[in-house]
Amino acid sequence: MKILVAVKRVVDANVKVSVKANNTSVDIANVKMSMNPFDEIAVEEAVRLKEAGVATEVIAVSAGGAQCQETLRTALAIGADRAILIESNEDLQPLAVAKLLKALADKEKPELIVLGKQAIDDDFNQTGQMLAALAGLPQATFASKVEIASGKAMVSREVDGGTEILSLKLPAVVTTDLRLNEPRYVTLPNIMKAKKKPLETVKPEDLGVDVTPRLKTLKVSEPPKRRAGVKVADVNTLIEKLKTDKVL
């Protein structure tokens, strides 16, 4: 079984981002970049399935600039067998990424496509769902457990009321939640091995996909600073304060 895993290069989760002075976007100059945490979980799950003998090959794919090769090398160090970079300097939005992944899936014919449920930079939470719709595949989002057997995937997914269990006929699309696994620490020997693994580069036009942005960002601004809290003597004062400060 072949597994395709999508990964995205984002600002590291531990970095405090700031908005550019012209309010056009977030400033990422000289900022540490890493693999999207949810995508790291997706790679780890795919590698675990391979280690369990369920999968035979794990392919990591990323769409973006040439710098995304670093992110793909991380996926290879975790345990992916090969990587594909869809290189583009356009502002790749969820629909464009879904179309690129669909075109690549048509070429590679994976039995399972795994993505993080969302990226921590834009928080769209759309790509996996769009990909499933475009490819006509069953999907399970927010997965907290994945089991593969007899051509089916049993997926436990996070819902508001607890956990929902779905049975999907392969091929299928799965998006990962935080509780699915804990990604392994990438060791130096595996980083060195990753440098020797194949990394292919293609262009959107090679896949026949138009990635021209459909959405235009008008303005990016930081959220308003929270006002300092105050202490009140009793409940009546609290209620009066809420009324006069127009909270209620």
Q: What is the pTM of this model?
A: 0.87
Residue 55 has pLDDT above 60, yes or no: yes
Among 234, 217, 159, 233, smallest CA distance to 22 is for 217
Query: Among 8-17, 126-135, 191-200, which is the least confidently predicted range?
Result: 8-17
Which option is the CATH number for 2-221: 3.40.50.620, 3.40.30.10, 3.40.50.2000, 3.10.20.30? 3.40.50.620
Mean pLDDT, rounded, for 150-165: 92
Which letter does DSSP use for residue 204 in this model?
A: G
> pLDDT digits over 93-143, tens only?
999 999 999 999 999 999 999 999 999 998 999 999 999 999 999 999 999
> pLDDT digits over 214-246, tens only?
988 899 888 888 877 888 889 998 888 888 876
Give 8: exposed, middle or buried? Use CB within 10 Å, 0-12, 13-18, 19+: buried
Among 44, 54, 59, 53, smallest CA distance to 148 is for 54
Mean pLDDT, rounded, for 38-46: 97
Instruction: Please enumerate in sequence order all residues whose Cβ is within 8 A of that of 160, keeping only pairs 6 or more positions apart, or say none.
Output: none
Domain extent listing, the chain: 2-221
Go through 196-217 and write b for each residue having 16 or more CB atoms within 10 A of its CB, e for each that does not: ebebeebebeebebebeeeeee
pLDDT of residue 17: 86
Among 4, 86, 84, smallest CA distance to 39 is for 4
The vertex-98 CA angle with 97 and 100, nearest 5°, equals 65
pLDDT of residue 30: 85
pLDDT of residue 225: 83
